[in-house]
Structure 1
Amino acid sequence: MKFKYTSLYAAILTASLGMVGCSSSSSPTAADSSVTGRITGFGSVFVDGVEYETGTATVTKDGVPVSGDADLKVGMIITLKGSASGNTGEAATIEFNDDLEGLVQVNGLASGGSLIVMGQNVSVDANTNFESNDPAITTVEDIPANAVVEVSGYPDGTGNILATYIELKASDVADYGDEMETKGVIADIDTTAQTFMLGNIAVDYSSVSLDFVPANDMFVEVKFNADLTVSKIELEGDGKYGVKGEVGEDLDIEGMITNITATTFELNGQTIQIPDGVDITQYAAGDLVNIEVSVDANGDLVAKKVEEDEANDDGSHFEIEAQVDAVNAAEGTITIDGKTISIDSFNTIMDDNTDAEKYFNIADIVEGDWLDMKVAENADGTFSAVKVERINASDAREKVELSIRIENGVLTTGDQAIDTALGGLSPDAVLQATSLINSFANQGEDFEVKAMLDANGDLQSLMVEVEAAIAVDSAGTVTINGVEVTLEMLPAGVSLDDIAARDGQQVEVKMDLLTGTISAMKSELSGLVAIDATTGEVTVNGTAVTLPAGLTLEDGQNVKLELDAAGNVISMDIEHQSEMDGADSEQDPGSTTPEAGTGV
């Protein structure tokens, strides 16, 4: 399956200015601005709400020149240099470099974990765009272990990436003929053993020749063969992690805040200075923002302006999957599920319908189309789109995220279609749902659910995600927030013993209130790794764990694991010794003199 994308703004500008997708200029564009961010649409290239014409631009993909924007996709993070005025501009250069292209070792997304790809934790959100070269794999949750994917997104340099774009390259590594690669910051280097950590993967560089001396904190790209042996290691740029610029240059960068201190914050793992007059107290780690920075005399990035990215979920976002009631392309609004929702040039529209078009836009949406949308409710009660995807009617089920509550023993949401369906439930189903709500919801509060209706308007599920406590009593009865757990409630392959092993733990649970069945469960396990020298058994904080193929831990490491209901690892984060010690680099990244004995 291939998702095809564009933006509303392409339709508006094409109609008003007569543009057809490329600049009519015959001379190269002078670059007086630089923006690093995700592509949100085509018609030319849309980044950060601006449409940049690309007719004279030099475009490279992973360092290789390509023709125009044909090889670029929505969601890819690019660095574009050019000129802009308002919401139009002209590109001089466009560079795309993926963050990762490699083997999927674990897919824990369905259980609330991550994709573990070449040891890197790849997380997704509602804004992640997915393309698949296998028609049988239609969602990121379907990606199998041993597949090969390409990832672009917001990395932190230490093994975690929030993906804005994922492409399934091959369903099985055996069918993939190219090298695999990952980028990151060197940590825990052992120059005697000639090994280092790159995120959560151990790299042995003893069999490759290097043209630089590796050291902690260097930013490198490591290429791997299909058996995960290292084939090549290259210094990325000057070896310093992050977006670069000339002294005095202003840069626009979008991404995720990964840390905040009194005088700095990290964006995608890169340190940004906070000067007097710039206030970021409203933000926290994990927030998505757009920032404007200047490059000071030391080459450091200094914040000039920080704004919330429209894709940032501040708790007001919800999902709707329903048929379109009305479209007003001139005003840039659609009406769906009784709500009028605005779309602007920062939003992305995806067409996943039959014969999907890359340049699909709001003008192609008609009454009766099925849309899957992520929507933000604004402070004034209006609604703004975050993501719009047109889907086939045959794949559609009406669903909406909303609050449910109990009033005089009756389940109600305030949504007419959902409340009508709730009224048709059997007494036993109502009793089941109200009992679970009373067990999991805070007293007197609304309970957030995702309701799904079938084509006949009958309620199929009321899915919730809750944090709960597991307990096992003296008789061996297992409960979650006081609700007794039976084998029939658990996902296939999960036993009551698996759940009982988490006695006293807090877990995240996905459950259907109508049936009481649990579709997924996630728990955390943190602490020091211990490996039995005789048996090889791996324990973390005294709890035995089984690692997926290709993933290793070392005795004495400090790790944080996420486990699914059966105890399988679905996310892994290793705290490196250099991070704990605050160790400085052992070698200036600018040095290119190979260390004696390095390589073959």
Structure 2
Amino acid sequence: MNRKPLAIAVKLAMTGALAGALVACGGGGSGDTSTSDASSGTSVGAVSGFGSVYVNGTRFETNGSVSSDDGLEREDQLEKGMILKVDGDWDDSGQGRADKVSYDDTLRGPISGMSWDEVTRTGTLTMLGQSIALDGKTVFRGATPTALADNPQGYRIRVSAWRLEDGSFRASFVGARAIGLEFDDNNEVEIEGVVADLDTSAQTFTINGFIIDYTSAVGDDDFSLDDLANGIAVEVEGTLNGNTILAEEIDDEDDLFDDDDDVEISGSIYDYDAASGQFSVNGVRVQIDGGTEFDDLRESSLADGLFVKVEGDFRNGVLVAEEIEGRDSDAELDGRIESLDLTNETMVVSGVRVQLTGNTLIDDDDDDEDGLRSRVQDIQSLQVGDYLEIEGRQQSSEGGFLEAISIEREDDDDDDDFELEARVSAIGADSITIMNLEVLRNGYSLSGAQVGDEVEIEYRQTSGGEYELTDNVEVDDDSDDGNGSNDD
């Protein structure tokens, strides 16, 4: 899929058209979005940028309003990483128009515990009995992950996350407030998940083992408490009393889509059944058929836990997939910007060509002010010499490049040693090539590395402009090309 909404946005900003659209539309706009390949329906995904709202690689024009039960009413209250439901129209150029933008916290309340590894940028937090996985693509606001891990009991958080197969979550956004500072909502906690251990006499049930007391609760919207049953997914808001939530409002999870909707949704696969060609993403059942196309992955690589974007038609409660795109990163780069081409949305980082897309999340290290920038400002803030941590998809076309999924800028990093983890493209007598980057051996070992293997290299740039290893090449023992890109 060849979308370049970033270039369109940059060009509009340079000509002054974007400023006029912002005044006219509240959230920004880019003119006519109609094409022969226009879709009309619902897009569910995490925010990757603003100046309008970027979701699933599409830049949606908005009127600036947000529908939410969690104290958010305006687009300027949203944050990158928050998972939105956008009802509207979009086209294959990456431009769209939003009729309605909705947001709902997945979890909200105090933290019980948290771990964080700054080197691997992974961790886990627990709250309300739920386990939430954290990674380099999780956006943190209000406190750094290190600060949260050092003093987890000192914060309340709101979490926007994807549900996983075992009922745990994978966080896209974590917003923190020190204990004593309330969020813009009267209810103290929120939890969602599948009802279990329902006791209608005691008026209790559990979500992943955490007790919910609904004695004083009311059904929200058109949901009746008489409809509570084991196995249904619900949202609960209330107050925390020890290890029990005293529910005030309970609602079943709304049907995300209407029949015959054009749909795109991102999330982690669970309940995958290869025989039937079905899996679930965030409670939505997906059906693969003979017309399903695969982008950046093979059908044989589908598995529980894989992060994907699915596009298709919603029919009789099932999303019939037209295209499934791999969205898990398979390559990482730590390096310094050497050149920028904003028109074509590319840059060279420590010798590697990096392609930006509408899906690329650009986030500064430990900088809450970054969330106030528009998408255009995000791009224009990148400067030659900035040190970046990039996660993305390795592509083999056009000589090889890295399609960026997330970019984090490291403040005041004077490191001139670079790291790259990706698949080997070629091995010569005195060099190793990964994507478009050739790195000289410099006396270090390439032992065990073969074309197609996933390796990790440390390297630097010489005074002559070449690149050379600064350590032996490390080969990933689990290397395989089952998730290889097909560059469609």
Q: What is the TM-score of this pair, normalised by structure 2?
A: 0.72
Match of 2:249 in 1: 234
For the 8 Å contact 1:219–1:235, the answer to whether it is kept is no
Greater Cα shift, 40-49 or 349-358: 349-358
- Using the TM superposition, give the Cα deviation of residue 95 of structure 1 relative to its aligned residue in structure 2, in angstroms: 0.5
**Could you tell me which of 136, 139, 159 is aligned with 1:151?**
159
Flag the 1:204–1:231 CA change in 2: closer, same or farther, 3 A: closer
Question: Which one-letter code corresponds to 1:76 in the other structure?
Answer: M
Aligned pair in 2 of structure 1 residues 244, 330: CA closer, same or farther (>3 Å)? closer
Quote the residue 1:286 is aligned against: 305
Among 116, 125, 128, the residue aligned to 1:115: 125
Structure number, greater radius of gyration: 1
- Equivalences for residues 439-518 of structure 1 within 5 A: 448-449=455-456, 451=458
Q: State the alpha-carbon separation in 1 of the partners of residues 267 and 130 from structure 2.
A: 18
Match among 266, 286, 291 for residue 280 of structure 2: 266
State the 1:216 CA deviation.
0.6
Match of 1:76 in 2: 82
2:139 to 119, 126, 129: 129
* Corresponding letter in the other structure for 1:326: S
Percent sequence identity is 21
What is the rounded CA distance, in whole Å, between the counterparts of 2:359 and 2:476 in structure 1?
31
> Gaps spanning 5+ residues in structure 2: where?
34-38, 220-224, 425-429, 461-466, 479-488
Alignment of 1:217 with 2:234, yes or no, is no
Q: Report the Cα distance in structure 1 between the residues aligned to 2:283 and 2:320, rounded to whole angstroms.
A: 15
**Distance change in 2, residues 1:362/1:65 (3 Å):** closer
**CA displacement at 1:152 relative to structure 2:** 0.9
Q: 1:209 to 1:372 in 2, by over 3 A?
A: closer
1:286, 1:109 → 2: CA distance? Answer: 20
Residues in 1 aligned to 2:23 and 2:417: alpha-carbon distance in whole angstroms: 42
1:186: which partner in 2?
195
Matched, 1:312 2:328: yes
Q: Which residue of 2 aligns with 1:104?
A: 111
Distance (Å, rounded) in 1 between the aligned partners of 2:451 and 2:54: 45
Residue 25 to residue 284, structure 1, CA distance change in 2 (3 Å): same
Q: How does 1:312-331 map to 2 (within 5 A)?
A: 312-313=328-329, 315=330, 317-318=331-332, 320-331=333-344
**Structure 1 range deviating more: 38-47 or 226-235:** 226-235
- The question of whether the paired residues in 2 share the 8 Å contact of 1:99 and 1:155 is answered with no
* Distance in 2 between residues matched to 1:123 and 1:12, nearest whole Å: 38
Match of 2:269 in 1: 257
What does residue 256 of structure 2 align with? 244
CA distance in 2, matches of 1:38, 1:449: 29
Matched with 2:402 is: 383
What CA distance in whole angstroms lies between the structure 1 residues aligned with 2:313 and 2:164? 21
2:73 counterpart letter in structure 1 = V
How does 1:268-417 map onto structure 2 within 5 Å?
268-275=282-289, 277-278=291-292, 281-282=299-300, 283-296=302-315, 299-309=316-326, 311-313=327-329, 315=330, 317-318=331-332, 320-352=333-365, 356=370, 358-359=373-374, 360-380=377-397, 381-394=400-413, 398-402=417-421
Tell me if the contact between 1:11 and 1:361 (Cα under 8 Å) persists in the aligned partners. Answer: no
Deviations along 1:387-433, whole A, 9 cap, x unmatched? Answer: 2222212475744134799xxxxx9977888966x87xxxxxxxxxx
Indicate conservation of the 8 Å contact 1:324/1:334, yes or no: yes
Cα distance between partner residues in 2 of 1:244 and 1:77: 13
- Measure the CA separation in 2 of the matches of 1:450 and 1:193: 59
Work out whether residues 224 and 231 of structure 1, in 8 Å CA contact, stay in contact via their aligned partners in 2: yes
Q: How well do the aligned residues superpose, as a CA RMSD in angstroms?
A: 4.2
Alignment of 1:4-15 (within 5 A): 10-15=9-14
Partner of 2:168: 160
Cα 1:249/1:348, change in 2 over 3 Å: same
Select the residue among 101, 119, 131 that pairs with 1:94: 101
C-alpha distance in structure 2 between counterparts of 1:397 and 1:195, whole Å: 58
2:13 match: secondary structure:
helix
Distance 1:404 1:278 in 2: 27
Listed one character per residue, the Cα deviations across residues 481-520 of structure 1 (whole Å, up to 9, x for unaligned) are xxxxxxxxxxxxxxxxxxxxxxxxxxxxxxxxxxxxxxxx
Question: 1:396/1:60 Cα in 2 relative to 1: closer, same or farther (>3 Å)?
Answer: farther
Deviation at 1:77, TM superposition (A): 0.7
The residue that corresponds to 2:482 in the other structure is none
CA distance in 2, matches of 1:13, 1:96: 28
Q: Which moved more, 1:101-110 or 1:332-341?
A: 101-110
Aligned-residue offset at 1:227: 3.5
Whether the 8 Å CA contact 1:58–1:92 is kept in 2: the answer is no
TM-score for both structures, normalised by structure 1:
0.60
Whole-angstrom CA distance in 1 between matches of 2:230 and 2:373: 43
What is the CA-CA distance between 1:462 and the residue it aligns to?
9.1
- The offset of 1:125, in angstroms, is 3.1
When residues 61 and 114 of structure 1 are mapped into structure 2, their CA distance, relative to the original with a 3 A threshold, is same
String of CA shifts for 1:538-597, please: whole Å, max 9, x gaps: xxxxxxxxxxxxxxxxxxxxxxxxxxxxxxxxxxxxxxxxxxxxxxxxxxxxxxxxxxxx
What CA deviation, in whole Å up to 9, does each residue of 1:8-57 have, x standing for no partner? 6642443367113636259xx999432111111111111122211223x5
C-alpha change, 1:450 and 1:347, in structure 2 (3 Å) is same
CA shift, 1:375, in A, is 3.5
1:39 equivalent in structure 2: 47
Structure-2 separation of matches of 1:387 and 1:62: 29
Q: Tell me which amino acid in the other structure corresponds to 1:116.
A: T
Tell whether the 8 Å contact from 1:155 to 1:162 is kept in structure 2 after alignment: yes
**Using a 3 Å threshold, how does the CA distance of structure 1 residues 442 and 36 change in structure 2: closer, same or farther?**
same
- Asked if structure 2 preserves the Cα contact closer than 8 Å seen for 1:7 and 1:40, the reply is no
The one-letter code sitting in structure 2 at the alignment partner of 1:191 is T
CA contact (8 A) 1:8 1:362 kept: no
Separation of aligned partners in 1, 2:10 and 2:145:
27
Mark the CA change 1:163 to 1:275 in structure 2 (over 3 Å): closer, same or farther. Answer: same
Contact 2:211 2:243 in 1 (8 A): no
